């Protein structure tokens, strides 16, 4: 079984994030809850698989509609 990555988010990072998004009125308890949520979100983001960009996939994976085969209106 893989060990979980260390996703420690400091209180200073949570406070800086809260200020950046305009949450300057947060109580210290709310900032602590935000810090815990940020760690959970980071952990979930590492687990969720990402859809590859079309620039990373082989060309045959993506289909392109030919302009020649469009119906005339």
Task: Please give the average per-residue pLDDT across 52-60, as a whole number.
Answer: 64
Task: Please give the average per-residue pLDDT across 52-66, as a whole number.
Answer: 64
- Full-model pTM: 0.57
pLDDT reported for residue 31:
93
Within 8 A by CB and 6+ apart from 46, the residues are 5, 7
pLDDT tens for 20-51 read: 999 989 899 999 999 999 999 888 888 877 77
């Amino acid at each position: 079984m893989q060990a979980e990555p260390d996703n420690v988010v400091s209180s200073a990072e949570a406070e800086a994030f809260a200020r950046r998004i305009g949450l300057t009125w947060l109580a210290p308890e709310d900032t602590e809850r935000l810090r815990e949520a940020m760690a959970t979100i980071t952990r979930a983001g590492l687990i969720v698989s990402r859809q590859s960009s079309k620039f990373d996939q082989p060309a045959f994976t993506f289909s392109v509609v030919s302009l020649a085969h469009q119906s005339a209106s």
